[in-house]
Structure 1
Amino acid sequence: MRNPRSTRVGFTLIELLVVIAIIAILIGLLLPAVQKVREAASRTKCTNNLKQIGLAFHNYHDTMGQFPAGAMDGAYVWQSGLTSWAQASDGTHREGYSWEYMLLPYIEQGQVQNIVATATLYATVIPIYTCPSARAPGLDNKIYKSDYVGCSGSTFPAEAPPADGGGMIIQGNLTDSTGVVRYAHTKITMASVTDGLSNTLLAGEKWLNPLAQGGSQDGGNNEPWCNAGWDEDHVRCTGTGPTDTFSCVNCFGVTDGSGVTTDYRPKPNSQCTIGAGANGTGGTIWQELFGGPHTGGLNVVSGDGSVRFVSFNVSATAWSAFGTRNGNETFSLDN
């Protein structure tokens, strides 16, 4: 009888390396496709968020007879002997809170307005105010921050509390704003948007460097989602045209602390500054531009509640006209 020899079957080293190489190539080919699918889903979710925000603006208008205010910078009640607006910590005097706070009952989050403790309110996550392409809904330095801003018009005028406490001094003209204006300014209604609601920007994504999401160096990402709303955390502007420029430090790939001047067209988040010093250290930059994490453009909602995707290459003239409510301009965002 023949004694059968036991044979050991297996891969040679070369065969194993070939298999590994093929798997690596397939993963390399598949990964971009998976990332595109994820980004498409995130962009769709962002679009839906802004759609809900637009509907909330309309429902608020139907109930209150006006759009919600952009609120006050600082706090809300002037107290004798103080040199700034004083915030009530017991949950009262929230008149100066942002438009996002005012819209809560219209996005099925009305119960959040019943939270008394300010710290608890600041740490309350409202997922509809987060763009999933920018970050996951959650806390940043123990507070929740929003990825969406209202339109202040074509300009971003400053404000200052008067020494006598007689009301805020409004520096600049706010009459071109759509629906998000200072608490102390003229009430804006749909009827006052004479350019047409579909031709007027209501809200959109904000320019925000991803590296600044864990700190306070970005002036558009250093405050809670609901606090005093007249600053770059809650409102942005579109600029007055091609000659209107904005200066930022460490933008567009610059990391040595140098300043860069750009127009007010929306920009991708990857080009946003992260701080005033070299490599983003030190200082706080106060962003005034719209922008976003998506490839090629950003999502915005118009005064009529419609959501559109606007290219980063939109003309500065058209973008400026889109930010005003009564400019009488003729424009196309496809330019």
Structure 2
Amino acid sequence: MLTLHAQSTSVPHQSLRMASNSSKLEKAQFMDRPNPRRAAFTLVELLVVIAIIGVLVGLLLPAVQAAREAARRMSCSNNFKQLGLAMHNYHAAFDKLPMHGTGTHPPAPINAWVSSPDGNNMRLSALVGLLPFMEQQALWQQISNPLLGRTDGTTTNPGGTIPWSAMGPTPENIQYPPWATEIAALRCPSDPGTGLPALGRTNYVACTGDSAQNNRDGYLEKPGVVLPYKPSSGTATRSQASGRGVFHIGQQLGLRDILDGTANTIAMGEIATDLGDKDVRTIGGRLAGNNNASPFIADPLYCRNTVPGIDPTRPQFWAVGTDGVSDGRGFRWSDAYPVFGQCTTIRPPNSEICGMSSWDRNMSASTSSRHQGGTHVLMGDGAVKFITDSIESGNQSAGNVVSGGTGLRAPGSASPYGLWGALGTRGSREVTNSDF
């Protein structure tokens, strides 16, 4: 009986073990089956994920844009630095800075503003002379030698010499290929301007100082030289009194002429090119008259305060008609005249242009840029500085220093436009003791 009892008690335990193993097998098989209820995200989960991604993009996008602008600004600064090296290499070769307002004379003297296919009328900017020193030797060879061919692909030159004469025609001639060439080293990556009605654009121009009397009247009479535009003794005197910058149209200066020190004097400035949107910084409003006693020379705020002038609801744009569509800022890198190739240190950076409603006449045109809060300038020693819009700029109601001026406007006086004006003058004996 004991043996039977032992056998009878062992059967249930074996059955339990078998049942347990069977249960585990069924459970494992059940776990291996796909669960149709967990095949995808629920709508709520998907919306939460999208919302999270949207928040992250919103947080990161400004940082990405700021990083891109910082890179563009650094590239712009590097372009300007290379231009400074070219300027100093030119000076090392010739013991002078490149002349601003140079070139060739047409066969017969003509007024400075007249277009000519047979000579550039002494209107070439300092950038033309710098070409061989900024890795543009091929372009310089085209300009400095007679050139056959036109921008439109033809080989004839109606109304002019065949081929184009050495140093080219006046800078507005679109059919002269070099003048229509866009030079990457002269463009700031932050500036979106491109294409017609501009020819080859530039974002870097010569600084002519703290006076708006910066037009074609800078030429001095020289024995035996027939000038295309012969100034009177009065215009030459005015030009000499007001031409206080590193560059003076029609005259060639050197580093030794920068008496205030090359590290304290601006040689070139950055400008924004015109986009055709009536931006007050990139095209002139038709406000001032056409005479040498222009109101903006006596009052730099003339265009700012004239009504109607600047749009009060959009203070960065004109409310009045502007100069011609081809007269935008920086539209011709080869042109020495004010709107295309000059900047002044009268009004602070990114201020409105104020001129005589003409690209070749007197003009107050500060530096400008597409960067946030300021502009680059190239100092006489080759250093590149970023000048903020809030730089100390003295008495903005004070008139320019001019020939015949009295008191603070007398020739040789310190700039009335504070640190900004002092940085633009080469020899007024100002002491710059501020960090800028």
User: TM-score if structure 1 supplies the norm length?
Assistant: 0.75
- What is the CA distance between 1:156 and its match in structure 2? 2.6
- CA separation of 1:100/1:222 partners in 2, compared to 1, >3 Å: closer, same or farther? closer
- CA separation of 1:71/1:292 partners in 2, compared to 1, >3 Å: closer, same or farther? same
Q: Secondary structure in 1 aligned to 2:422? A: helix
Q: How many residues align?
A: 290
- CA separation of 1:82/1:70 partners in 2, compared to 1, >3 Å: closer, same or farther? closer
- CA separation of 1:120/1:35 partners in 2, compared to 1, >3 Å: closer, same or farther? same
- What is the CA distance between 1:325 and its match in structure 2? 0.3
Distance 1:63 1:93 in 2: 24
- What is the CA distance between 1:221 and its match in structure 2? 2.3
CA contact (8 A) 2:215 2:338 kept: no
- CA separation of 1:284/1:153 partners in 2, compared to 1, >3 Å: closer, same or farther? closer
- 1:77 aligned partner, one-letter code: H
Q: Secondary structure in 2 aligned to 1:150? A: strand
Task: Tell me the residue number matched to 2:264.
Answer: 199
Distance 2:179 2:370 in 1: 24
Task: Tell me the residue number matched to 2:248.
Answer: 181
- 1:325 aligned partner, one-letter code: R
Task: Tell me the residue number matched to 1:139.
Answer: 195
- CA separation of 1:158/1:175 partners in 2, compared to 1, >3 Å: closer, same or farther? closer
**Deviation larger for 207-216 or 139-148:** 207-216
Task: Tell me the residue number matched to 1:36.
Answer: 66
- 1:226 aligned partner, one-letter code: S
Unaligned runs of 5+ in 1: 240-263, 274-282
- 1:102 aligned to 107, 125, 129, which one? 129
Match runs of 1:1-335 below 5 Å: 7=36, 9-71=39-101, 77=105, 80=108, 82-84=110-112, 87-89=115-117, 93=120, 95-115=122-142, 116=147, 117=150, 118-135=175-192, 138-141=194-197, 143-159=199-215, 167-168=230-231, 169-170=235-236, 171-172=238-239, 173-178=241-246, 180-183=247-250, 185=251, 187-208=252-273, 212=277, 217=325, 219-221=327-329, 223-227=331-335, 229-239=336-346, 264-267=347-350, 288-316=365-393, 317-334=418-435
Q: Secondary structure in 2 aligned to 1:103? A: helix
Task: Tell me the residue number matched to 1:243.
Answer: none
CA contact (8 A) 1:296 1:312 kept: yes
User: TM-score if structure 2 supplies the norm length?
Assistant: 0.59
- What is the CA distance between 1:96 and its match in structure 2? 2.5
- What is the CA distance between 1:150 and its match in structure 2? 1.1
- What is the CA distance between 1:47 and its match in structure 2? 1.0
Distance 1:54 1:306 in 2: 7
Distance 1:24 1:321 in 2: 50
Bigger proportion of residues as helix: 2
Larger radius of gyration, structure 1 or 2? 2
Distance 2:47 2:229 in 1: 78
- What is the CA distance between 1:87 and its match in structure 2? 4.8
CA contact (8 A) 1:134 1:210 kept: no
CA contact (8 A) 1:157 1:174 kept: yes
| Higher-RCO chain (CA-CA 8 Å, sequence separation at least 6) | 1
Bigger proportion of residues as strand: 1
- CA separation of 1:222/1:134 partners in 2, compared to 1, >3 Å: closer, same or farther? closer
- What is the CA distance between 1:81 and its match in structure 2? 7.8
CA contact (8 A) 2:270 2:367 kept: yes
- CA separation of 1:333/1:103 partners in 2, compared to 1, >3 Å: closer, same or farther? farther
CA contact (8 A) 1:206 1:292 kept: yes
Task: Tell me the residue number matched to 1:259.
Answer: none
Distance 2:121 2:95 in 1: 19
